[in-house]
């Protein structure tokens, strides 16, 4: 990789190898995957989404995502399908859990590279590729097992395929293969994270066509065979789930799309400027070269395509950052959709900053090395943060040898350790003890609210799994099996005083307690048969 960087713009064998259609995706994938195994699953996001995929694999139910075996409809299923397939194929490991994101990042980078190679030039495409694979935001997203990288790849693919269809037309019919690919990728984007997989590409392409003076092309992009293809891919899952759970569509589209975007009832409330500021910080040092890309290009290839691509990339960056700056709830992963065009614009700005073609390779090498150092510093920071904040893997190592039977109940008190089933390699459910009847439980967008809302789709199962403190007492005094409890140290004083309940281990801020089974002859009268 570094040898190729040093020879950017030359005809060296390294550059030729890097441009090889077969070798290039393998090199990019290997680069992203090199450190994907270093850290445990981050909580809550990686633990939550990988946990849902793991439950899907264990249960064999590929239609209904579940969290602690309760229907979980916060997000659509594409990530769960891909991750469950990866875990089933390669085993339960962090690397396998992150494989869908690694593949999505690789596909995204390769897609941008080939688009720019076709419409701008080979040299610009290579510098853009190097910018993308060393941008900390994109590199981190490639190694993070959640939905953001997957929807970024689908969104980027939709935009690039639609733009290719437009650019290739020029007094000719729109490219049908490119249009079909755009519709298919938009459908996958909808299945990856919901409406933004459709809204973002439509917004970017629509604004771009108006800006370049081709608004009439918007209607030409509405292609009935493409609509049919989109419907065939995207709609069956929604139809089947709605048939089983009549409240699903309102919950999914109104609550988790419209209300999340327009109301303040969700976490991560930030000011308007937060998105742009964090995007700048997580794309350093490439972000600084955007200034050089603002100026109009002096040389334009025949047909003016380069100016149109330049406009597309700027509209893509600016419109998506504004779009995600509007809602009060802001998450870093949302900003990743703007990373692909940033790489293209930063490449242009860097070439301008170099001044002469002879100085470009050295300039690229310096910036790439700085970007690698920035990314490495961020990775080290995340490793130390996760080590200090999460002890689930160590907790699982303590618990695993203690179980005499998979049927022994496992209870979490005032906490839901998302990644515990992953590291225990023990299928859920866990019973969760909390004051579920209190209004504060659902006031904030936390794991408590997630489980409480999931239980609304299966109330009977929810009653058995979401226990109030009184329900814990019944379980402990009525169970004829050993009951294991995971209790935050601060909550241990609230446990009932029972002769068979004792602390077994302490891991970080958590304690493991064991309650010996009750003698059948001593069961309370209110114990269920």
The answer to whether the beta carbons of residues 168 and 206 sit under 8 Å apart is no
Is residue 2 very low, low, confident or very high in pLDDT (cuts 50, 70, 90)? very low
| pLDDT for the residue 80 | 97
Picking from 349, 364, 221, the residue whose alpha carbon sits closest to that of residue 290 is 349
The answer to whether the beta carbons of residues 185 and 154 sit under 8 Å apart is yes
The mean pLDDT of 337-343, rounded to a whole number, is 95
Picking from 238, 164, 163, the residue whose alpha carbon sits closest to that of residue 195 is 238
| pLDDT for the residue 69 | 95
Instruction: Report the DSSP pairing between strands 431-433 and 466-467.
Output: parallel
Look up residue 329 and give its DSSP letter.
Answer: B
| pLDDT for the residue 336 | 93
Note if the bond before 285 is cis, omega within 30 degrees.
Answer: yes
Task: Report the chain's mean pLDDT, rounded to a whole number.
Answer: 87
Rounded distance between C-alpha atoms, residue 298 and residue 279, angstroms: 29
Give Cα 358 to chain centroid, integer Å: 40
Tens-place pLDDT, residues 478-488: 888 899 999 99
Tens-place pLDDT, residues 397-414: 888 888 888 889 999 999
Most confident of 26-35, 99-108, 254-263, 369-378: 99-108
Give the chain's domains with CATH numbers. Answer: 2-34+73-388 (no CATH), 392-522 (3.40.50)
What percent of the chain has a predicted confidence (pLDDT) above 70?
89
The answer to whether the beta carbons of residues 53 and 89 sit under 8 Å apart is no
Task: Please tell me the total number of residues recorded for the chain in this structure.
Answer: 529
The answer to whether the beta carbons of residues 450 and 414 sit under 8 Å apart is no
| pLDDT for the residue 498 | 85
Rounded distance between C-alpha atoms, residue 21 and residue 168, angstroms: 21
Q: Which has the minimum average pLDDT: 189-193, 312-316, 424-428, 520-524?
A: 520-524
Over 60: is that where the pLDDT of 140 sits? yes
Rounded distance between C-alpha atoms, residue 195 and residue 240, angstroms: 18
**Which residues are CB-neighbours of 34 under 8 A, at least 6 positions away?**
none
Tens-place pLDDT, residues 88-138: 999 999 999 999 999 999 999 999 999 999 999 888 899 999 999 999 999
Q: Where would I find the H helices in 194-259?
A: 196-211, 217-220, 224-244, 248-249
Tens-place pLDDT, residues 358-393: 778 888 888 888 888 888 888 888 777 766 567 888
Q: Higher confidence at residue 303 or residue 264?
A: 264
Over 90: is that where the pLDDT of 156 sits? yes
Three-class DSSP category at 505: strand
| pLDDT for the residue 72 | 96
Per-residue b or e along 378-400, where b marks 16 or more CB atoms closer than 10 Å to that residue's CB: bbeebeeebeeebbbbebbebbe
Rounded distance between C-alpha atoms, residue 128 and residue 26, angstroms: 17
| pLDDT for the residue 301 | 40
Phi/psi at 70 (nearest 5 deg)? Answer: -100, 140
Rounded distance between C-alpha atoms, residue 415 and residue 490, angstroms: 12
Rounded distance between C-alpha atoms, residue 111 and residue 188, angstroms: 16
Instruction: Report the DSSP pairing between strands 483-488 and 410-413.
Output: parallel
The mean pLDDT of 497-505, rounded to a whole number, is 88
Q: Which has the minimum average pLDDT: 19-28, 36-45, 153-162, 275-284?
A: 19-28
| pLDDT for the residue 133 | 95
The answer to whether the beta carbons of residues 481 and 408 sit under 8 Å apart is yes
Rounded distance between C-alpha atoms, residue 260 and residue 262, angstroms: 6
Residue 146, token pair as written in the block: 């959640």
Q: Which has the minimum average pLDDT: 74-88, 220-234, 252-266, 390-404?
A: 252-266
Over 90: is that where the pLDDT of 231 sits? yes
CB atoms within 10 A of CB 510: 22
């Amino acid at each position: 990789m570094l040898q190729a960087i040093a020879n950017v713009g030359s005809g060296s064998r390294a550059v030729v190898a890097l441009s090889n259609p077969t070798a290039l995706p393998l090199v990019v994938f290997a680069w992203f995957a090199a450190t994907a195994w270093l850290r445990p699953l981050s909580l809550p996001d990686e633990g939550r989404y990988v946990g849902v995929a793991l439950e899907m694999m264990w249960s064999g139910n590929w239609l209904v995502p579940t969290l602690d075996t309760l229907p979980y409809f916060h997000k659509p299923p594409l990530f769960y399908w891909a991750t469950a397939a990866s875990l089933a194929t390669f085993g339960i490991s962090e690397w396998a859990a992150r494989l869908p994101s690694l593949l999505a990042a690789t596909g995204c980078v390769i897609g941008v590279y080939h688009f720019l190679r076709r419409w701008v030039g080979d040299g610009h495409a290579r510098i853009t590729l190097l910018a993308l694979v060393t941008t900390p935001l994109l590199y981190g997203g490639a190694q993070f097992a959640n939905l953001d990288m997957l929807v970024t790849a689908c969104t980027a693919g939709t935009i690039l395929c639609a733009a290719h269809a437009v650019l290739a037309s020029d007094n000719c019919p729109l490219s049908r293969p490119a249009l079909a690919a755009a519709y298919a990728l938009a459908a996958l984007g909808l299945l990856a994270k919901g409406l933004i997989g459709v809204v973002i590409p439509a917004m970017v392409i629509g604004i771009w066509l108006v800006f370049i003076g081709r608004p009439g092309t918007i209607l030409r992009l509405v292609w009935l065979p493409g609509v049919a293809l989109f419907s065939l891919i995207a709609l069956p899952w929604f139809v089947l789930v709605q048939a089983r759970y009549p409240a699903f569509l309102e919950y999914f589209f109104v609550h988790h799309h419209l209300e999340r975007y327009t109301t303040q009832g969700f976490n991560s409330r930030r000011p308007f400027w937060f998105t742009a500021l964090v995007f700048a910080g997580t794309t350093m040092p490439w972000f600084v070269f955007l200034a050089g890309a603002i100026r109009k290009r002096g040389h334009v290839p025949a047909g003016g395509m380069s100016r149109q691509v330049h406009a597309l990339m700027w509209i893509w960056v600016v419109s998506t950052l504004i779009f995600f700056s509007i809602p009060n709830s802001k998450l870093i992963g949302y900003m990743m959709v703007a990373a692909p065009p940033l790489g293209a614009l930063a490449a242009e700005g860097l070439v301008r900053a170099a001044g002469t073609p002879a100085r470009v390779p050295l300039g690229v090498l310096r910036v790439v090395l700085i970007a690698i150092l920035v990314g490495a510093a961020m990775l080290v920071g995340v490793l130390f943060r996760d080590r200090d904040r999460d002890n689930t893997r160590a907790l699982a190592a303590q618990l695993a040898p203690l179980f005499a039977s998979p049927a022994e109940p496992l209870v979490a008190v005032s906490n839901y350790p998302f990644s515990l089933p992953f590291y225990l390699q023990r299928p859920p459910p866990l019973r969760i003890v909390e004051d579920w009847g209190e209004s504060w439980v659902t006031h904030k967008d936390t794991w408590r609210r997630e489980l409480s809302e999931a239980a609304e789709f299966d109330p009977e199962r929810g009653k058995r799994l979401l226990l109030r403190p009184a329900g814990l007492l019944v379980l402990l005094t009525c169970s004829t099996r050993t009951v294991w409890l995971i209790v935050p140290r601060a909550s241990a004083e609230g446990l009932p005083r029972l002769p068979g309940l004792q602390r077994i281990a302490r891991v970080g801020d958590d304690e493991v307690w064991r309650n010996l089974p009750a003698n059948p002859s001593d069961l309370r009268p209110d114990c269920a048969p």
